[in-house]
Structure 1
Amino acid sequence: MKGGRQIAKLYGWGLHYYCGSTGQQIANEYTENEWYDLLERANRMETLVEDHWQVMGEFDRERRVKLCVDEWGAWHKQDPDVPPGYLYAYAGTLRDALVSAINLDIFQRHADKVAMANPAQLVNTIHSLFHTYEDKFILTPNYHVFEMYMPHAGATAVRTEFISPKGAQSSFRPRSGLHVLTLRRKKRPRVSGGSAGRLR
């Protein structure tokens, strides 16, 4: 096996993937097609995890090394209303929150492969969970997705099959088998998961 001794020294193999932006790359300006286009780009993470895992298995047959998705998320242009010095800062939207939900669901489905998964940044930049300015502090839509998923940590995922129609003018269709129900002992089931539909 190639590099067997070196592989034994590794904990994880890094994977970065930003699904980018659409149209004019402005976080809060997009068409219906661009809404679905960004969700489809986020959904590509599943293929990346599966393909990387397959190649890693050629060198690590014992599967000691896991994937570390150390940066992921949407990446839009900096909002011109944000003061200079805030690197790529922009206000996220529901669309960005769905990008987070899609990725978190993918990481849950592949928990045997993904040891670590970090959103791109934490504060005042790409796909942030928080924005601060002087004495002001706000939680972004991405934060609220993480907050909704937190109670499910350490729970048991139940595979759920569903069928979803395509968007009106888009090829986006979430993959079946989304883990949306997690169970804990002596507690009521909690239901969560990313929705790919539009709110009306």
Structure 2
Amino acid sequence: MTDTLHDVRSPGWAADPPVVMLFLHGFGANEHDLPGLAPALGLDLPWASLRAPLDLGGGAAWFAVTTPGSPDPWVVEAATDTIWQWVEVHLHAETLVVPIGFSQGGLMATQLLRTRPDRVLAPVVLAGFVLGAPQPADGALADSRPPAFWGRGAEDRVIAAPAVARTASWLPLHTSLTGRVYPGLAHGIHAAEVAEVRDFLAEHVGGNRR
């Protein structure tokens, strides 16, 4: 892994935006995978989309897959650190991030929340899951219960069942969860899901609506 993450950013990127959407792609994709969602999410916010640090040759990953749904904590924590390093270099110290992650990127969105919740606003987890190991802010989150969105397909066979069960247990105890399961959807993103994410963000990221 490298400490420097490549990124693409929204046109007219501001020097010190108060809030930024942070797109975090899934295994084997790249930084160009998720920004197409930005117009449909309905927020007048700058965005950045990060390329994961593990080069797969044509794509990238936040960490190597060993046991599906149960990655080694240290590799996930190292990837989390690389995202925070990017934030510290490219964003103002008071800028909040709205992490929107798919699959592995969804796990990384929850990692940002579980490590530095003071910098995270309304994380969106699409077909993702949470790490099984305790994280630094878990106790604080159990008290504060910030808003979070978790959507997944009822027919998703990529995310292992134990990871889904772990996430279904952890999120309601540590967030004010908006959870959705989409019938007929496999490992992907549903149009109805995008609409519900838009509503979720409109409610919880106020003052930046289109």
When the two structures are superposed, what TM-score results if normalisation uses the length of structure 1? 0.36
Larger radius of gyration: 1
After TM superposition, the score normalised by the length of structure 2 is 0.35
Structure with greater helix share of residues = 2
